[in-house]
Structure 1
Amino acid sequence: MSESPPPKSILSFAKDLPNICSLVGLLCAIFGIYFAFLGNFPAAMIGLIWAVFFDWSDGIIARRMKGRTQEQGEYGGQLDSLIDIVSFGICPAVILLSYGHFSPWYIPGAFIIVAAGVIRLSYFNVFGLVDKSTYWGFPLDNNVIILVFLFLFDGLLCPSIFGFILYALLIALAALNVAPIKTPKFAGRWYYVITGYTLLITLIYGLKLL
């Protein structure tokens, strides 16, 4: 009776190019969290939008790679989902808490943001897409695309008003994340749009840091 081959090591999957791309996106999200704690929101927004860019890029790289095994694909899917929780759940929640100076009043909002992300991704991991181009609910990465745009108005409004708008927007997006609505999956040429948007957002917030 032949023995089954030994399982691959944990780190062997991390050397897969799409997974490396996912991990770079995680690093960007960590930078976003770090700068959010410091109250440096322009730098946090740069980290966040690059997290989105790498999240979009890993799937494109995976689809274009030849000879990628089923195990690598399944591992990559789990890795991507876990990173999404950090990038598009925890990071926006930390930004909300930091903007609210970590007031207890902002804790319920932070919980709702992360909880909606966990619930949505758990559902997606089990049931997947409605079809090849449609999601149930609003995708988490789109939350961040809207969030980094909103912060362009930070400083134009008084902090209390902007803080209220920020809180309300993130709660509304969390509700949409788990709502029984169909939303399109942006792919194809939309990748060039997100690339241009990432570069433009980086330029604008980079100038704010000067």
Structure 2
Amino acid sequence: MNDPDHQRLHQTGMLAFARDLPNICSLAGLLCAVLSIYYAILGNLPIAIIGMIWAVVFDWGDGLIARRMKGRTDEYRAFGGQLDSLIDIVSFGICPAVFLLSYGEFSPWFLPGAFVIVAVSAIRLSYFNVFGLVDDSTYMGLALDNNVLILAFVFLFDGLFGHTIFSVIIYAMFMIMAVFNLAPIRTPKFAGRWFYVLLVYVLALTVIYSWILWIKYQ
């Protein structure tokens, strides 16, 4: 407890870690997730989708920035890893769960599904925090951010079905993805140039959902 480095870190203060550029990027993703939850509760699901997919962009971006920064200490990397994991459970656990509840008009029938989404997120992130990647470019199971990217695409077809039928589709899709999140299968970690593919995908979906909103409120 008298280790000088330990004392120095306590004197540094928590906000010094929060000012770290990759961590600022992580917190921007958290803001997107909070906005998504807010609009999901209000029932404005297109904006909720936009918030969720931008949370994915910032989640990928913080790692990209961190890897390119020189001289970042082990303490800052460790803090960033913990912050990223805690934000992930909000962005890719609580946020989709609230989205499902909102689409189900907060019916009690949707509570089990919401619990499964959050529980699977907690289990997966805990596993990842302990064991990490299988190798430098491989996850065990489907990464949680993929759930959001799949949801954003599938939800474009909302208007083609009745609300009850699409509720079942969305519910079933979340449960299937939950199985793959915890399945002992290897999935690739998309990084590097894939970030720019993600950015194009998110920008395209942002434009589409913005157009849907514009049509809706005309």
Return the offset for 1:169: 0.2
Mapping 1:150-189, distance limit 5 Å? 150-189=154-193
**1:77 and 2:90 matched:** no
- Would the aligned equivalents of 2:64 and 2:192 in 1 still touch at CA under 8 Å? no
Check conservation: 2:138, 2:186, Cα contact below 8 A.
yes
State the AA in 2 paired with 1:37: I
Separation in structure 1 between the aligned mates of residue 55 and residue 152 of structure 2, nearest angstrom = 12
Deviates more, 1:88-97 or 1:4-13: 4-13
* Match among 130, 135, 153 for residue 139 of structure 2: 135
Q: Secondary structure at the match of 1:154?
A: helix
* Structure 2 residue 200 is the aligned partner of structure 1 residue 196: yes
Q: Among 91, 95, 98, which residue is 2:99 paired with?
A: 95
Q: Pick the aligned partner of 2:15 from 1, 6, 11.
A: 11
Correspondence 1:24 to 2:23: no
Shift of 1:155: 1.5
Alignment partners' CA distance in 1, 2:45 and 2:159: 11
Q: Mean Cα displacement is larger for which, 7-16 or 20-29?
A: 7-16
Q: Deviations over 1:141-185 (max 9, x none)?
A: 000000111110112210001000000000111111111111111
Cα distance in 2 for partners of 1:154, 1:35 equals 17
How far has the Cα of 1:3 moved from its partner? 6.5
User: Unpaired segments of 5 or more residues in structure 1?
Assistant: none
TM-aligned CA deviation for residue 67 of structure 1: 1.1
What secondary structure is seen at the aligned counterpart in 1 of 2:160? Answer: coil
Matches within 5 A, 1:99-110: 99-110=103-114
Question: Between Structure 1 and Structure 2, which shows a larger proportion of helix residues?
Answer: 2
Alignment partner of 1:37 out of 21, 34, 41: 41
- In the TM superposition, what is the alpha-carbon distance from 1:118 to its structure 2 partner? 0.2
**Is the partner of 1:135 in helix, strand or coil?**
strand
Is this contact kept in 1: 2:36–2:48, CA < 8 A?
Answer: yes
**Which residue pairs with 2:65 in the alignment?**
61
Amino acid at match of 1:143: N
Work out the CA distance in 2 between the residues paired with 1:72 and 1:182.
29
Instruction: Name the CA distance, whole Å, in 2 between partners of 1:174 and 1:75.
Output: 28
Q: What amino acid is the match of 1:149? A: F
- By how many angstroms is 1:11 displaced? 1.0
What is the number of equivalent residue pairs in this alignment?
Answer: 209
Deviation at 1:110, TM superposition (A): 0.3
CA distance in 1, matches of 2:54, 2:3: 45
Quote the Cα distance in structure 2 between the aligned partners of 1:156 and 1:80. Answer: 36
Question: What secondary structure, in the 3-state scheme, does the structure 2 residue paired with 1:129 have?
Answer: coil
Equivalent-residue separation in structure 2 for 1:68 and 1:207 (angstroms): 41
Across the aligned residues of Structure 1 and Structure 2, the Cα RMSD in angstroms comes to 1.0
Secondary structure at the counterpart of residue 106 of structure 2:
coil
Match of 2:115 among 106, 111, 118: 111
